[in-house]
């Protein structure tokens, strides 16, 4: 009987090399991947192995094959494996609370990184958001948190945050309400000044208001 291990190892190698190609060539969401024939030549692998790897990635929702057009990279936030895992994980009573706490860890880490770096504190986005909420009376909640995590410069944290946001049942996609605005202003003001304690206090006050809007705050 043929030992299946070499085949499995080859498959994992192909998936890893495909990831390298995507990274090195800067293929972004919606971008086209090399053809099956080209991948077989570049990776020195059989077309059946390449086909198996591509099929697996497609089943996971990471790539999309369009008949007559080719294979394209899909937005990681639409990753079907995450949806499947979430269907099981979120059945646990404490799951939402755990996701919220993990999400807050990333948000807090971004605040700490910004407060410690004078260049990040001086970014014009904080003043821009402050003026917008002061003049318009509202900003998109997600804009504030996303900008903080982007500024912190940890791309992996940003990707994780997008997924955590999706499953923490927090209405980040809505505009701030009147009772949130003072906390948001204090957050932005102290963030720009590098006042860690005051920024974290304002963040904590604001996020509790946001999380309690739909009764999801279990604290």
pLDDT in tens, the chain (219 residues): 444 444 444 667 787 888 888 888 888 888 999 998 999 898 888 888 888 888 877 876 778 888 889 999 887 555 555 555 555 555 565 677 888 898 999 999 999 999 999 999 999 999 999 999 999 999 999 999 999 999 999 888 888 888 788 777 788 889 999 999 999 999 999 999 999 999 999 999 999 999 887 644 444
Residues 142, 169, 215: CA angle, nearest 5 degrees: 110
Q: Is the torsion defined by CA of 38, 44, 47, 53 positive or negative?
A: negative
Alpha helices by DSSP H, listed for the chain, are: 5-24, 36-43, 47-59, 80-89, 95-115, 118-121, 124-136, 141-152, 155-167, 178-193, 196-211
- Cα 88 to its chain centre, rounded Å, is 20
pLDDT for 182: 95
Domains with residue ranges and CATH for the chain: 10-78 (1.10.10.10), 81-216 (1.20.120.530)
Residues 111, 193, 125: CA angle, nearest 5 degrees: 65
| Contact by Cβ (8 Å): 210, 177 | no
| Contact by Cβ (8 Å): 161, 77 | no
pLDDT for 181: 94
């Amino acid at each position: 009987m043929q030992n299946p291990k070499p085949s499995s190892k080859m498959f994992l190698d192909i998936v890893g090399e495909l990831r390298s190609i995507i990274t090195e060539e800067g293929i972004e969401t919606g971008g086209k991947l090399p053809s099956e024939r080209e991948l077989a030549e570049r990776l020195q692998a059989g077309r059946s192995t390449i086909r198996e790897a591509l099929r697996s990635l497609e089943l996971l929702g990471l790539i999309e094959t369009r008949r007559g057009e080719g294979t394209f990279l899909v937005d990681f936030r639409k990753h079907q494996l995450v949806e499947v895992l979430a269907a099981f994980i979120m059945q646990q009573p404490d799951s939402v609370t755990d996701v919220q706490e993990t999400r807050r860890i990333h948000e807090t880490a971004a605040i700490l990184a910004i407060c410690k770096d004078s260049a990040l504190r001086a970014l014009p986005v904080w003043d821009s958001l402050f003026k917008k909420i002061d003049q318009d009376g509202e900003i998109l909640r997600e804009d504030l948190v996303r900008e903080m995590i982007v500024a912190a410069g940890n791309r992996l944290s940003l990707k994780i945050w997008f997924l955590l946001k999706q499953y923490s049942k927090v209405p980040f996609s809505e505009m701030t309400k009147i009772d949130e605005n003072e906390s948001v202003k204090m957050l932005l003001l102290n963030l720009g000044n590098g006042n860690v304690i005051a920024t974290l206090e304002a963040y904590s006050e604001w996020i509790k208001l946001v999380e309690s809007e739909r009764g999801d705050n279990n604290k």
